[in-house]
Structures are given as C-alpha cells and as structure tokens.
Amino acid sequence: MALRLGRRPFLALVAGASASAAGAALLGRSGQLRSAGSASATAPSRLRSSGGRLDLDLVAQETEVATPGGPARALTYNGLLPGPLLEIDPGDAVRINLHNRLPRPTNIHYHGLHIPPGGSADNVFLSVGPGKSHSYAFTLPADHPAGTFYYHPHSHGTVADQVFGGLGGMLIVRGALDRIPAVRAAAEQVLFLKDLAAERGSSPMGMGLMLGREGAVLTVNGQVNPTLSMPAGGLLRLRIVNGSSARFWRLALEEHPFHLIATDGGALEAPVELAELLLAPGERAEVLVRGERQGGRYRLLNLPYTRGAGGMMGGMGMGSGPGQQGPVSIATLTYAGSVAPLPLPERLLPVELLPEPVRRRRFVLNHGMAPGMGMVFLINGRPFDHGRIDTRVRLGDTEEWELVNVGVMDHPFHVHINPFQVISRNGKPEPFRAWKDVVLLRPGETVRIRTRFDDFTGRSVYHCHILDHEELGMMGILEITA
C-alpha cells in the first residue's frame, strides 16, 4: 500500500494546531519550549514504505515557530521541523511530490544515497520555481547499504539560506546492519541536529556569510534539550545527522563512551570506541551507548569547536557560534527500567577493500578575491561555474583524490552519488575502513580518498558542505560517462 500524506494535517498545523499533536517537533506555533529535560526526544514524524513503495508530498513553506527569542519564521517541510523521517528498504520505489511555497527556487537532494544523478532522481541541477511542483521518482538499488541519510534542498543560490532556515530531514535505509542480533537488540533513537537563528528575520551578511552562519538555538529533533531514556544494562542506538548549514557538532555523553557502528555510508567492520564524536555539516554517524552506569541523569554535550586557525578573522569567535564558550547540554539521558546486560556486537559487516586507482587527481581548497564578487571560495583556483564541467570520470573506474586545504578555515568536502573511503590523512593511514561522503579538511591538511564510479552516468557535484562556502564558489561539477 502506498503511503500518502494528505495536505490537511500540515495546514492544520500552520493554522495553529500543536506541533506535537502531529507527532513531530516541539517548536510548533502554539507550542511552548518545554523546560530543559522534560521533553522526551520523540522521533520526527515517520513515513515508512510499504509493499515496496513510499509516496509522499513535501511542501516547502515558511512556518511560524517558537524560539527562546520569541516567535520566528522557519522554513519547513509540511510545517515540521525537522521534515518527516523517511524510512525505506533497498529496492523500494520512492515518489516525492515537492511543492514549493517559498518565494525562491528550491529542489531536493538525497544526500548519501547511491541513485542516479539525472532525471527526476538526485538531480541537483533541477530547479522548482516558486509556486511550482515537481514529482521526484527513483528506485533504491536492491543492494543499497543500510544507513542513515539526509535530504535537503540543493538549488544553487538558495541552498544555504534554505538549510540555515530549517529545511532538511532524515532518511533511513533498512538492511543487513539492522539484522545483526546485537544491533537489533538496541533501542533506536534518531537525533537530527540543527541550529536555528534566535531572532526573526536575521540574515547576516559579509563576515557571517564568509564564516558560515550558525544559529544560537541548538535543537535535537526540533526540540531544546529533550530527554533520552534507556534501560540499565541495555543498548541505545543513536542515528545522528548534522543537519546544520555550517555548525559543527562535537558530541560527548557524560560517563558513556560512544561505540561507533556506522558512518555516512553505512556499517563499519567492527565497533570503534570513541570518547567524543565530531560531525561536520552533512556528516552522519550511528553509535551504540551501553547502559552501564548508575541510574541518574547524564548530559549529551555539544563541546566548543573552532572551525579553523582563525588568524585571518582576528579572533572573531569563528566556530561554536554565538556565545558558545563552554559545553552546552543538548539532550539528557536517563535510565528507565533494566534488562539483563546486552553485549556489544563484535563484528558488523565487511567493508570492501577498493582496488588500486586507475587515476589520481588533486583538489586544492582555498579562498580568494574575485573581481566583482569579493570574497570567494575556490577549488583548484576556480569558483563554481554551472556551465563548466570540472572533472570528467569514467563509469567503473576507481580513482584516488588528494584533497588539500591551503586556506585558514575548515572545509568539509562532500561528493554526491558515490561514497568514498578515506585512505590517509597527512600521510598517515586511516585507522579503519569506512564509507564516507563528507570528509573534514582542517587548515593545512592533505587527505587522500578513494572512490569508484559505480552504476550511474551523468553530471553531479562535489563541494564544501559549509553551505555558505558552497554558495560562495566552493563547488565543482563531476561528469561520469560510460
């Protein structure tokens, strides 16, 4: 049976119904921000495929939301912050009718999915004008890995504004990782991380744009400091998406390490224990948390992070965003009940060893001044040009790309359609194999990635996922030909 969202529920929401009644975010028009720790981190409203199909409408619109600074306008899908959580299986046929009720063009990108880059699939060159609709359709390959993915607008010229304004949602692909008994035994919780501007109509210019805009209100599934709970002895599986346009999230859970089980493109070979987890915009991770402490309250913290050397900025407080000097509690973990202690999985899934590359390329990331444009961000000395193909590759080839950041700011480099593996950082081999589609380059760093252009021909892009940098030029066009 096809699942279809009627228009009525979200119109009702805009008209003032409670957002939580729609099973979604707390920041609805009539909703109050609940006090710290009293909300439970309910999942965003969830749309699950059935019978091999997922069919839905997404209305991109402005919605009034409550923030600590008072009512503000946010950009939403279907009136929800974040947008509905989409859950699909390999082989599913997906149809999304996008309706643009915004004053500027928009479109949809399926960040991390391995689907065709053309037609009405993951086509970022397609633009849906104000008042227009477009019907997206694609079939997820039958061998698509399970994982945590992300949909968001990607119309060049409006993408940073629209993601900063609130548009985005999580997309889960179910599969082999979910069937591993020790993983399946874990309680699952999604965490869609998004910063929102505190005040109405704020649109920083100049320096703010150059650094990448950060909002002061830190939300998890659209809520401020919700509660997560797990049984003592149990396992909690967190699926985490950084849905911010520029903010990095550096997470630590008091007295609990994270056991990383999946990165952007799906499962690792075995869990990796981490004291903290840094996610650049667009990055995802899945971690297990063990309920191995005494009952109590443990804060999930966002730790301060500085995005780059900042020499050029003269200490303008680049990074952690307005006012964040110390750790901020973004959610609170409590224990409820107990179970016989559950083991961590020992092995997860094989991660393919890619063959030797048939070709090597180099991409140098920097900033500079362009006549008439002011400050721009550059890849190999050039700002984005929609009429130029920067990189031509052949279907089936494995390539190794050397990415070099010679600038003064962090740049998370992202590639569409085909995931990659990080081979080395500053000459040092990566400690474990993992599928990624965003890799962070700090100032002065050189990272080598390896990728294979599988299954699909067509044009797509790579870019910095600080979306203000992407808008200011840090993007190139990739063409895959047979």
Please give the residue ranges that form the binding site for Cu ion (CB under 5 A).
Answer: 111, 411, 416, 464, 466, 469
Indicate which of ligand C2O, Cu ion, none lies near residue 464 (CB less than 5 to 8 Å, by partner kind): Cu ion
> Can residue 156 be called a binding residue for ligand C2O (CB under 6 A)?
no
Q: How far apart are CA 420 and CA 372, in angstroms?
A: 36
Query: Which listed range, 15-23, 130-138, 303-311, 458-466, lies at the site for ligand C2O (CB under 6 A)?
Result: 458-466
Question: Backbone phi, then psi, for 162, in 5-degree steps?
Answer: -75, -35
Indicate which of ligand C2O, Cu ion, none lies near residue 256 (CB less than 5 to 8 Å, by partner kind): none
Q: Which of 213/290 has CB closer to ligand C2O?
A: 213
> Can residue 237 be called a binding residue for ligand C2O (CB under 6 A)?
no
Question: Which H or E element spans position 109?
Answer: strand 109-111
Site string for ligand C2O, 247-286 (x = CB under 6 A): -----------------------------------x----
**Interface pick for ligand C2O out of 416, 425, 448, 452 (rule CB under 6 A):** 416
> Can residue 458 be called a binding residue for ligand C2O (CB under 6 A)?
no
Indicate which of Cu ion, ligand C2O, none lies near residue 443 (CB less than 5 to 8 Å, by partner kind): none
Q: What share of the chain is helix, strand, coil (3-state, %, to 5)?
A: 5, 45, 50
Q: Which of 111/448 has CB closer to ligand C2O?
A: 111
Q: Which of 399/468 has CB closer to Cu ion?
A: 468
User: In this structure, are residues 100 and 60 in contact, taking their beta carbons and an 8 Å threshold?
Assistant: yes
Q: From the CB of 414, what's the least distance to ligand C2O, in Å?
A: 5
- Stretch 71-130 residues interacting with ligand C2O (CB under 6 A): 109, 111
Size (the chain), residues: 482
Angle at 192 between CA 161 and CA 72, to 5 degrees: 45
How many chain residues touch ligand C2O (CB under 6 A)?
A: 10
User: Hey, what long-range contacts does 339-344 have (CB within 8 A, 24 or more apart)?
Assistant: 339/231, 339/232, 339/233, 339/234, 340/233, 341/233, 341/292, 342/182, 342/185, 342/186, 342/233, 342/234, 342/235, 342/290, 343/182, 344/182, 344/235, 344/259, 344/271, 344/288, 344/290
Q: From the CB of 300, what's the least distance to ligand C2O, in Å?
A: 24
What DSSP character marks residue 11? H
Q: From the CB of 112, what's the least distance to ligand C2O, in Å?
A: 8
Residues that bind ligand C2O (CB under 6 A): 109, 111, 152, 154, 282, 414, 416, 461, 463, 465
